[in-house]
Amino acid sequence: MSHGTHSERLEYPVPELGAQRTKVRGQRSESVQSLLAAAGPAIAHVALLTGGGDKPYALGMAAALTSVRIYVDFIGSDDLNVRELLNDPLVNFLNLRGDQRPEASRMAKALRVLSYYVRLIRYAATARPKLFHILWNNKFQFFDRTFLMLYYRMLGKKITFTVHNVNAGKRDLNDSWFNRLSLKIQYNLSDHVFVHTNGMKQELISDFCIPEGKVSVIPFGINNTVPSTSLSSAEAKRQLGISGGDKTLLFFGNIASYKGLEYLIPAFAELSNKDRSYRLIIVGKPKGWDGYWKQIHQGIARSGIRDRVIQRIEYIPDEETELFFKAADVLILPYTHVFQSGVLFLGYGFGLPAIASDVGTLKEEIIEGQTGFVFKPQDSSDLASKVDEYFKSELFRDLETRRAEIKAYANGRYSWSKVAMITAATYSRLLASDF
């Protein structure tokens, strides 16, 4: 792969996801045993505890595991009750979380959380899988990190844990000794921990005294579950009221203080006050960060750019996601503190170049001039300069061709098949007697 001049093209590995996937489909009337017999023997049986986290990641992990003949008890909810899972003979979908609609009353939310924990505890007591793989914790972090972990260990379960943020409290500026203690308990009670970057691995080792051999680095699997139709970029722009010649920036994802919107707004104001063809799309929900978003919203008004900013401050379902990524010319990630971003890989899945701050490993994931650009963290002027450079580059001038190349590159580098191989090898070691 070349990291040379901007005019060079990427060399892409051939995507491997799904190459070994079972062909048996749509036979739910038969017993699980007969379906497994038709598909061939599974090499392991594990429980995948999704905890209500990232839907595309959870579905991608399930598909990756079954592609290497691992039988999965998938602990999900109504919003994860999808055809891909129901039709897979190697997936036993268990809807323990049920209805997760946000508009429910506080009482209803409290009851469903309590009901879920009761179901989960009952399931664990009788579950056939000897290995539990936790993708995310549930609502009550301390309970999950301590009592649930001890309970699983008392039942004789092996535990693997995929860590997406080593210490989110530190990232969100609300860390405490109590938070660090509960994290240390969970990490040490896990038999193996998966992370997405070497930086995360080093933080686990240095901050939580986790043995190096207990941690594996796996790619953040590319998001291949969000629907992508024949919708064109031109039509997507039209639907959002954006002219074909407008230079369109996209900020997408949960709105929080570490996302750095306070640096994007002045950068965009600097650009768009000189060139009125700039447009900014902000899509996301400030879950727990309403005060922060209020400040950003006021900043947009003070900057005099409100007419050039499209704001969708709400949760966006998967079916609507492509509209924004196809309307955009570039994805902006102005983060102040993060190791890795799932939004970057979502953008790559749509072939969208990215301009990201040099924090965590974002610089390692962007090939300058070919998949995007990198700017100095917390520097609005440098961000504005990189955006201007992007719209003058060959990457933008040849965007339609480059979109296809970026998508192919991402499908190869962040293939779920790589995730499956590393994960299955770990399962094999932990459950050697069962393989």
| DSSP secondary structure of 87-150 | T-TTEEEE--S----TTS-HHHHHHHHHHHHHHHHHHHHH-S-SEEEESS--S-HHHIIIIIHH
283: β partners: 252, 312
- 192 and 62 part of one domain: yes
Q: Give domain status of residue 14, yes or no.
A: no
Quick one: pLDDT band at residue 97, thresholds 50, 70, 90? confident
Cβ–Cβ < 8 Å for 247, 391: yes
* Cα 199-204-210 angle, rounded to 5 deg: 140
pLDDT averaged over every residue in the chain: 87
- 429 and 340 part of one domain: no
- 268 and 143 part of one domain: no
- 182 and 194 part of one domain: yes
pLDDT of 38 above 80: no
In terms of C-beta density within 10 A (0-12 exposed, 13-18 middle, 19 or more buried), how is residue 307 classed? exposed
* Pick from 138, 110, 426: nearest CA to 146: 138
Backbone angles phi, psi at 375, to 5 degrees: -125, 165
- 73 and 204 part of one domain: yes
Question: How far is 175 from 216, CA to CA, in rounded Å?
Answer: 25
- 429 and 292 part of one domain: no
* Cα 278-281-286 angle, rounded to 5 deg: 145
In this prediction, residues 378-399 reach a mean pLDDT of: 97
* Residue with the larger pLDDT of the pair 267 and 55: 267
Q: Give domain status of residue 289, yes or no.
A: yes
Question: How far is 174 from 289, CA to CA, in rounded Å?
Answer: 13
- 202 and 296 part of one domain: no
Q: What is the pLDDT of residue 42?
A: 65
Q: What is the pLDDT of residue 74?
A: 95
Quick one: pLDDT band at residue 412, thresholds 50, 70, 90? confident
CATH code, domain with 65: 3.40.50.2000
The tens digit of pLDDT for each residue in 248-301 reads 999 999 999 999 999 999 999 999 999 999 999 999 999 778 899 999 999 999
Q: What is the pLDDT of residue 231?
A: 93
Question: How far is 41 from 50, CA to CA, in rounded Å?
Answer: 25
pLDDT of 391 above 90: yes
- 402 and 428 part of one domain: no
- Range scoring the smallest mean pLDDT among 14-18, 208-212, 414-418: 14-18
pLDDT of 5 above 80: no
| Domain hosting residue 141, numbered range | 32-221+415-434
Q: What is the pLDDT of residue 358?
A: 93
Question: How far is 356 from 373, CA to CA, in rounded Å?
Answer: 7
Backbone angles phi, psi at 303, to 5 degrees: -80, -10
In this prediction, residues 175-193 reach a mean pLDDT of: 93
In this prediction, residues 402-428 reach a mean pLDDT of: 92
Question: How far is 159 from 144, CA to CA, in rounded Å?
Answer: 13
Q: What is the pLDDT of residue 310?
A: 97
Question: How far is 204 from 196, CA to CA, in rounded Å?
Answer: 12
Residue indicated by tokens 């594996």: 216
Question: How far is 210 from 187, CA to CA, in rounded Å?
Answer: 7
- 279 and 322 part of one domain: yes
pLDDT of 312 above 80: yes
Q: Which of 41-45, 78-82, 113-117 has the highest mean pLDDT?
A: 113-117
Quick one: pLDDT band at residue 170, thresholds 50, 70, 90? confident
Which residue pairs, CB below 8 angstroms and at least 24 apart, start in 286-294?
286/254, 286/255, 286/256, 286/313, 287/254, 287/255, 287/256, 288/256, 289/255, 289/256, 289/257, 292/255, 292/256, 292/257, 292/261, 293/255
The tens digit of pLDDT for each residue in 119-155 reads 999 999 999 999 999 999 988 999 999 999 999 999 9
- 281 and 386 part of one domain: yes
Q: Give domain status of residue 126, yes or no.
A: yes
Q: Give domain status of residue 6, yes or no.
A: no
**Full-model pTM:** 0.79
Q: Give domain status of residue 8, yes or no.
A: no
- 162 and 252 part of one domain: no
How many domains would you assign to the chain? Answer: 2
Q: Give domain status of residue 1, yes or no.
A: no
Q: Which structure tokens are listed for 358? A: 């040099």
Question: How far is 278 from 250, CA to CA, in rounded Å?
Answer: 11
The tens digit of pLDDT for each residue in 326-340 reads 999 999 999 998 877
Q: Give domain status of residue 20, yes or no.
A: no
**What Å distances lie between residue 268 and 57, 262, 272, 332, CA to CA?**
31, 10, 6, 11
Q: What is the pLDDT of residue 221?
A: 86
* Residue with the larger pLDDT of the pair 150 and 108: 150
Quick one: pLDDT band at residue 40, thresholds 50, 70, 90? low
- Backbone dihedral region for residue 304 (phi beyond 0: left; psi -120 to 50: alpha; all else: beta): left
Q: Give domain status of residue 16, yes or no.
A: no
- 239 and 157 part of one domain: no
Quick one: pLDDT band at residue 165, thresholds 50, 70, 90? confident
* Residue with the larger pLDDT of the pair 136 and 29: 136
